[in-house]
Amino acid sequence: MSFESEQHAEDYWKENLRMMLTLLSIWFAVSFGCGILFVDELNAIRLGGFKLGFWFAQQGAIYVFLALIVVYVVKMNKLDRKYNVHEDHEEPEEFEEALEEEFTH
Partner 1 sequence: MDIQTLTFIIVGLTFAVYIGIAIWSRAGSTHDFYVASGGVNPVANGMATAADWMSAASFISMAGLISFMGYDGAVYLMGWTGGYVLLALCLAPYLRKFGKFTVPAFIGDRYYSNTARTVAVICAVFVCFTYVAGQMRGVGVVFSRFLEVDITAGVIIGMAIVFFYAVLGGMKGITYTQVAQYCVLICAYLVPAIFISIMMTGHVIPQIGFGAELNDGSGTYLLDKLDGLSTELGFAEYTSGTKSTIDVFFITAALMVGTAGLPHVIVRFFTVPKVRDARKSAGWALLFIALLYTTAPAIATFARVNMIDTINGPEAQGTAYEEAPSWISNWESTGLISWEDKNGDGKMFYSGDERNEMNIDRDIMVLANPEIADLPAWVIALVAAGGIAAALSTSAGLLLVISTSISHDLLKRNLMPNISDKQELMYARIASGVAVCIAGYLGINPPGFVAQVVAFAFGLAASSFFPAIILGIFSKRMNKEGAIAGMVSGISFTAAYIIYFKFINPAGNIPENWWFGISPEGIGTLGMLLNFAVAITVARFTADAPRDVQAMVADIRFPKGAGAASAH
CA pair distance 32, 36, nearest whole angstrom: 5
CA pair distance 54, 16, nearest whole angstrom: 33
Q: How many residues bind partner 1 (CB under 8 A)?
A: 46
Helix/strand/coil percent split, the chain, to 5: 75, 5, 20
Q: Is 25 in the site for partner 1 (CB under 8 A)?
A: no
| Host H or E run for residue 12 | helix 6-28
Name which position in 73, 95, 96, 99 contacts partner 1 (CB under 8 A): 73
Which residues lie across from 47 on neighbouring strands?
50
Name which position in 18, 25, 63, 99 contacts partner 1 (CB under 8 A): 63
What residues make contact with partner 1 under the rule CB under 8 A?
1-3, 9, 12-13, 16, 20, 23-24, 27, 31-32, 35-37, 39, 43, 47-51, 54-55, 57-59, 61-63, 65-66, 68-70, 72-73, 76-77, 80, 83-87
